[in-house]
Amino acid sequence: MARDTKGEQGAVRLGVNIDHVATLRQARGTPYPDIVEAAWLCEKGGATGITIHLREDRRHIQDRDVYRLRKSVTTRLNLEMACHPDIVRIALDVRPDEVCLVPERRRELTTEGGLDVIGGKKRLASVAAALSAAGIVVSFFIDPDLRQVETCAAIGVPYVELHTGRFCDAAGVGARRELGRLIAAARHAHALGLKVNAGHGIHLGTVGAIMRIPYLDTLNIGHSIVCRAVFVGLKEATREMLVAMRKAGARS
Ligand code: PXP
């Protein structure tokens, strides 16, 4: 559900990214921890969606995980992926509820920066059209840049996901400036008819400020929830994040 300008954030949804449950498994090549059980616990904790990133190098999520989760997830399955032909083929076969197209560099630690939708317009538009024709809701992961937002609207995707990493990594004046950019991008996206998700680097210390972004539909949060789960379990870590989101929503 989209929010209004007043920042009525009570119903912002939480997609939990469980890539790093698979990172733990891949570190030893064991059959555990089970990705399906992880998704189930997040859903029990109140997640309204499960997000996974099938990377070209398969460093965490594997093809089999995507197929298994497609069968088991009872909320919404959101597949993050780059525009590689092999991954597009898998997405068209699996048909997750949502796909978020992201840039991908092999050597990066995590997704570093948003898509260049302006530079890659033709290719992105054609992949988005193929996915949409298969009934998949498409989102582009972008930096909070007004021209990128405008190009997403011109292509006609229904969603953008704003990259919150710079804000979450920044401190002081830099953080205020980054939050301002996120707020401006969300307003612009809404004015152009786009729905707004946000994600990357969000943790319990930053989620309060992130909730000041207007028109938020969904926050996609992974690493910090999986880290917290080491101490309290996935269900409780998910619930804690939702409580923090609701508290912040009530204040704004
Ligand atoms: N959204 C997108 C598009 C991402 O690429 C990621 C990282 O995979 C996330 C959200 C979640 O980021 P984090 O794990 O830092 O919470």
For residue 139 and ligand 1, the question of a CB distance below 6 A is answered with: no
Tell which one of 83, 110, 197 to mutate to probe ligand 1, the residue whose CB is within 8 A of the most ligand atoms.
110
Tell which one of 20, 51, 109 to mutate to probe ligand 1, the residue whose CB is within 8 A of the most ligand atoms.
51
CA-nearest of 73, 52, 61 to 23 is 61
Is the pLDDT reported for residue 15 higher than 90? Answer: yes
Task: Render pLDDT for 119-142 as a digit per residue (tens, 0 to 9).
Answer: 999 999 999 999 999 999 999 999
For residue 112 and ligand 1, the question of a CB distance below 6 A is answered with: no
For residue 141 and ligand 1, the question of a CB distance below 6 A is answered with: yes
Token pair, residue 249, equals 């929503």
Q: State the residue for tokens 């059980």.
A: 37
Q: Tell me, what's the pLDDT at 250?
A: 75
Backbone φ, ψ for residue 175 (5° rounding):
-65, -40
Q: Tell me, what's the pLDDT at 25?
A: 98
Task: Render pLDDT for 33-77 as a digit per residue (tens, 0 to 9).
Answer: 999 999 999 999 999 999 999 999 999 999 999 999 999 999 999
Is 0.85 topped by the overall pTM? yes
Residue 195 identity: K
Cβ atoms of 159 and 125 within 8 Å: the answer is no
∠ CA 129-102-138 to the nearest 5 degrees?
35
